[in-house]
Chains A and B, each alone.
Chain A
Amino acid sequence: MWSLAEIVRSCADTGLSFPETVMARDSERSGMDPRSIREIMDSRLVDMERSVKEALSGDPRGKFVGGDAALMGAYGAGHTPLSGTFAVEASRIALAVSTYNASMGRIVAAPTAGSCGILPGMLFGFGSAYPAPRERLVEALTVAGGIGQVIARRATLAGATGGCQAECGAAAAMGASALVFLQGGSPEAISHAAALTIKSIMGLVCDPVAGLVEIPCVKRNGSLVALGAICADMALAGIRSAIPPDEVIDAMRSVGHSLPESLRETGTGGIAATPTGIRMKEALL
């Protein structure tokens, strides 16, 4: 069964950690041996790190977006940010990588290309604040992947099916769980960090201007890292979702199904349908 409750139970029964349990279950289902899964996850982290480096070293531009990461960097260097240095650094990385994606950069879809800045922002934002051994980060990425697998199975990871809650929302939930793991939280806390995040992005629509993965996608990457971080802190503080995590994911699925087509990646509703959004689209053609 694809269920967070089962992963948590299995951790308790076997004494394995959350990422070990995710890895074992994935190996069982995919038929791949755990060594090669681990190797590929390791190479995904390498590719992710490379996307961060490439994104920050240039000044990537999309058709509409560009320059936000540099602004965030300058602000972070000159101020004590309200939302904390971790959140601002994670946001800077997320903005950079997701802008790099818009510029045809080479990224890791995690879980999708539109949300590809969120996990790098949270993982490498963490890594710069609290130096962690590389294996820990691979394990954290595995935790994130395990959460994503359950969301994929019980709901969806496609904006065209479930709205942006399924892309940027899911990425933030995956990242929240990864952060709880990195901070030594229990399997239960890991699963609740995801649930707390999903409850806050429930119903988030997919409404890209001109149908391009740029507006509002890049800024959602830059802000949802902070939502994920605060949900990780809530879970680490002992706060639990009153509704069990699996039920929260199921609710996200039915909300996704009730979104009209105009709010599922067609670029015809929400932000895309504002007068300015329509003007931008027309200027592009």
Chain B
Amino acid sequence: MRLIDVIGPVMIGPSSSHTAGAARLGGLARRIWGKPVSRVAIFLRGSFAATYKGHGTDLALVGGLAGMLPDDPRIRDSFREAKDAGICWEMKSETVDGAHPNSVRFLFSDDSGEEMEIIGSSIGGGAVVLTGIDGFSLKLSGELAAIVTFHRDEPGVVAAVGGALSKAGRNIASLNLHRQGRGGNAAMVIELDDRDIDGLEPLIKATHPAITRVLAIPGGGEN
């Protein structure tokens, strides 16, 4: 643990996992959705569902979805700002076998008919991990900028993407491959040292025919 993580983060109370982590999850989901949030259903799981009122978990999740960082005092009144920003949300609880105790599922949609499902957990001390996007299991912390590819499991995808990134002068901080069986669907999460992700999405998409979809996700922007 870095010194600045032991003395930190700076956050709106009362709970690092239920408040700061919730704001981070909302922010990370928003960055993955990648455009202004218009409609989102929020499903609370485990102790998020049990204690969200006393911890302001609902305010923090919506604040994060509206772009507030965990130390933003506007979180206390985030519902109003989110409404003003045109965000429509509903909050429900759900029980899922084997779900992490502090987790949440977001279901985004908009008028163009696009939908996206994002699942994540607050894993302690304000740290979060995203565990699913549109039915794919993966792991993403959102601290660094990241590229996520969805592709068929074929030889050469990793090399093609790695090569393209290196040509673009980007350094890979971590690379994780998540596949649903050999030759099946796969997702790759690549964290980058560089914050700049402009133009990477089309670039990566064009590197290999097996790649069906690419998400370029900006980093968190906090200390």
Contact = CB atoms under 8 A, between A and B. Distances in A.
Q: Report if A and B associate in a common complex.
A: yes
Interface of A: 22-23, 26, 29-30, 32, 37, 40-41, 43-44, 47, 62-63, 100-114, 116, 119, 141-142, 144-146, 148-149, 152-153, 157-158, 160-161, 210-214, 267, 284
Contact of A113 (B2, B7, B15, B76): B15
A284 B13 contact: no
Contact of B13 (A47, A113, A148): A113
Secondary structure type dominating chain A contacts? helix
A113 B16 contact: yes
Contacts of B73: 106
Contacts of A26: 2-3
A246 B12 CA distance: 33
6 contacts: A101-B13, A145-B3, A145-B7, A149-B1, A213-B14, A214-B14
B6 A145 contact: yes
A44 B9 CA distance: 9
B14 A212 contact: yes
B95 interface: no
B10 interface: yes
Contacts of A63: 54
A211 B13 contact: no
B8 A104 contact: no
B132 to A, nearest CB: 22
Nearest to B55: A212
Contacts of A44: 4, 7-8, 10
A157 B6 contact: yes
Contacts of B17: 160
Contacts of A37: 3-4
A211 B6 contact: no
Interface of B: 1-4, 6-17, 19-20, 47, 50-51, 53-56, 59, 71, 73, 75-76, 124-126, 223
Given A63-B54, A113-B19, A211-B54, A108 B10 contact: yes
A111 B55 CA distance: 18
A104 B3 contact: no
A110 B14 contact: no
Nearest to A26: B3
Contact of B54 (A108, A158, A212): A212
Nearest to B102: A160
Contacts of B76: 104
B77 to A, nearest CB: 10
Given A113-B20, A158-B125, A210-B51, A152 B6 contact: yes
Among the interface residues A22, A41, A106, A108, which one has the most CB atoms of the partner chain B within 10 A?
A: A106
3 cross-chain pairs, A with B, having the tightest CB-CB distances, nearest first: A101-B13, A148-B6, A212-B54
A173 to B, nearest CB: 12
Contacts of B55: 212-213
Contact of B56 (A30, A32, A104, A146): A104
Contact of B19 (A22, A104, A119): A104
Given A106-B13, A211-B50, 14 more contacts: A32-B2, A40-B223, A41-B4, A43-B223, A104-B56, A104-B59, A105-B12, A108-B9, A109-B20, A145-B7, A157-B1, A161-B124, A213-B14, A267-B51
A139 to B, nearest CB: 12
A145 B2 CA distance: 9
A214 B20 CA distance: 17
A41 B7 contact: yes
Nearest to B13: A101
Among the interface residues B1, B20, B75, which one has the most CB atoms of the partner chain A within 10 A?
A: B1
Contacts of B9: 108-109
A103 B55 CA distance: 9
Nearest to A147: B6
